[in-house]
Every structure is written in C-alpha cells, then in structure tokens.
Structure 1
Amino acid sequence: MRIRPSALVSMAAAPIALAVLTGCSEGTETAAPKLPERTCFGVFSRSDLGPLVGNGEEVKETGPADMQLTAARRTSTCSVDVDGRGRFLASATRQPLEQSFFWNAELIKPAADTLPMGDKGIVYDTGARVLLICKGSQDTFQVELSLSGSTDQVEKGGSRPLFTRLMKKFVEAGKQQTRCGV
C-alpha cells in the first residue's frame, strides 16, 4: 500500500489540531463562573462585575440584601469571591457628622484621581470611595461608599473608568437605600 505525501501531512496534523481544539486539561483556566443576575445589594448586574470576576468554577456572594443603615446598623458589606479568592467588595458605612472618614490619598500609588460624585470622591487603580453628607428632616449623618476589586482580568488602563461607572450606580442606589437626605 502506498501513502501519498499529502495524506502523511494530514495524518500528522490531526493530533496537533485535536490538541489545539480540545486544549490540555492540566494548567488551563476554567471558564468564568456564573454570577447572579443582580449582586451586592441588588445594585450591580452580571455584566457590571464580569470584568472583575475573572475565571473560576464557584462564585460566592456574601452580605445582606440591602445597605439600609441606621444609628444601630452602621455598616453593610458585600463581597464576591471566586474559588475562595476575593474579587469584589462593596461597603457602605454610616457615622455622625462630627466624626470624619480619613482617606490618606497620598499613600495611594499611582495617585488617586478626584471623582466628581457626592460631597467628596476619589478613584484609584483598585477601587473608589465617595463621601455623602446626608441632611434629612429628622437625622443628619454621613455615609462612605467604598468599592474595591481584583483588577487582574481588567485591561491595562481600564480599571479607573470601570470603578467610576460602578461607583455612579453605587452612589445612586446608596442615596436611596441609606435614606440619605430623606
């Protein structure tokens, strides 16, 4: 039996093509885990947090259903973990006006940018913070909204615009849920 040279090339290429198509099972990353449709106080959608989640098998969200704060319940925190690794954290903290939140922006490298939201805001490579002064008819207080996340999967230079978009949603929801100014 005589085998044509073109058939030899095809037979030699078949195992290589199969390996490329199927991938090796060792050392490969698994697909992105399935996030809930809404996460962290119902504020963020699956597509909002997708860039921060990365690859993995199991996603776990911990935290309360809302960020309603009172003098007794001063903080509300939500975290999203993938395969046991923290990928995203959102928190709201309430305190009286006479106390102040301390942000040492000089320690953030590269330097933080001003974020024109709320009464004071900053955005940096791994997160953002916004301060809200809440003056209501019955109560006056301040709220710090904070976001942070793993930017391993985010395109270089894309984390600050991403955290700015996320914070815009978080500020809108935070004003409503914390009853800021009501």
Structure 2
Amino acid sequence: MRVARAAFTCAFVVFAAVAVSGCSEEKGAAAPHLPARSCFGVFTRSDLEPLMGRGEDVKESGPIDMRLTAERRGATCNVYVDGRGRFLASATRQPPEQSFFWHPELIRPAPDPLPLGDKGIVFDTGARVVVTCKSSRDAFQLELALGGSIDSMRAGESRALFSDLMKKFLDAAEQQTRCGA
C-alpha cells in the first residue's frame, strides 16, 4: 500500500511540475513591445501581431525605408521575438530584361494566385508579387516577398492575412520606389 501511495504521489508531483512549467510558458506576453510601425514604416502593430506568437524581446532589423535605386537594389526587414524570426519583408529591384524565378510547384500546399501587380502568389507562410515599374527616367521590375511564422494562427487564416499584408506592402513599395513616377 505504501509503495502504491508513494508511486502515486511521485507521479502526481511529476505531473504537477510539468503542468506548472507548461503554464509558465503560456504566460509570456504576446510580443508586447512591437513598435507602432515596423518594416520600412509600412506595417502597424496590429498588422503583425498575429505572426508574433508569444515572447518578451522584439527586435527589428533592416533599413528605415525601401527606396530602391539602380545602385541600392534590395531592402530586407526582419522581426524577431526572443531571437526567433517571426516576420520578413523584402523588396528587390532589377532591370526589366531580367526575370524573377519562383518555383511554385515546390510549395506545399500549392499557392493560390494573388491578383496584385503583374504576377502574385500567396501561400500558407507568405506571399510574393512582381510589378513592372515605368517612369520617365527608367523602367525596372520590383519583387516583393513576405514570410512569417504561422505557429500561433489557426489553420486557414494565414493566406488572407498575407494577402492583406501584401496589398499594403505593394502600395507602400510603389510610393517609396517611385514606381510609375
């Protein structure tokens, strides 16, 4: 009887310790220190919160804008929570005679077309768009890419979120890169 009670007590203590440690993990704030605007000044705190998951320490890396030129051909922004990459936004400029190559057949589940720019796709963990920009001075292609961690999202919600984020990103990119100006 004592052995059974001791075994039960020991098992209960182990179970309680695991349960309590699980609860302490849950108490991490939902990225409370996101700046009001992130990534080239495009995205608001509420835009990115669904991708941030739980954590304490938020860091953003990247330039303040995406004003791309023939000399400055790319800009990338990363947002990290507790050292883990949670969101990425990048813009790349190249001459119109070069092409951006995607391999949508390698993306699983398969991407959906995204009716933005010249060509766009959205998938569970991100989106991509290419737009041709023509101005009185020059012409160029602009590729925009978004990616993010969807760990804390419910299945089926991410594509709508990435579609909305890409629309916002494309609008800002066209202004900042002077696409069509």
SS at match of 1:145: strand
Separation in 2, partners of 1:129, 1:156? 20
Look up the match of 2:29.
31
Report the equivalent of 2:104.
105
Q: Output the CA distance in 2 between the equivalents of 1:154 and 1:165.
A: 15
Give matches, 1:134-149, under 5 Å. 134-149=133-148
Higher helix share: 2
Partner of 1:11: none
TM normalised by structure 1 equals 0.85
Determine whether 1:123 maps to 2:86. Answer: no
Distance 1:141 1:97 in 2: 5
How does the TM-score come out when normalised to structure 2? 0.86
Q: Which amino acid aligns with 1:101?
A: F
Cα deviation, residue 25, structure 1: 5.7
CA distance in 2, matches of 1:61, 1:68: 18
SS of residue matched to 1:109: coil
Percent of pairs identical after alignment?
66
Q: Deviations over 1:109-152 (max 9, x none)?
A: 11100000011100000000000100110110000000000000
Classify the secondary structure of the residue corresponding to 1:90.
strand
Name the count of aligned residue pairs.
161
Q: CA deviation at 1:24?
A: 3.5
Q: What SS does the aligned partner of 2:76 have?
A: strand
AA at the equivalent of 2:173: G
User: Where does residue 6 of structure 1 map in the other structure?
Assistant: none
Distance 1:124 1:71 in 2: 30
- C-alpha RMSD of the superposition: 1.4
Structure 2: state its 5+ residue gaps: 1-15
Q: Aligned partners of 1:52, 1:41: CA distance in 2, in Å?
A: 17
Partners of 2:74 and 2:47 lie apart in 1 by 23
Paired letter, 2:56: E
Alignment of 1:12-91 (within 5 A): 24=20, 27-29=24-26, 30-33=28-31, 34-91=33-90
In 1, Cα distance between equivalents of 2:126 and 2:111: 10
Deviation track 1:82-102 (CA, whole Å, cap 9, x = no partner) reads: 000000000000000111000
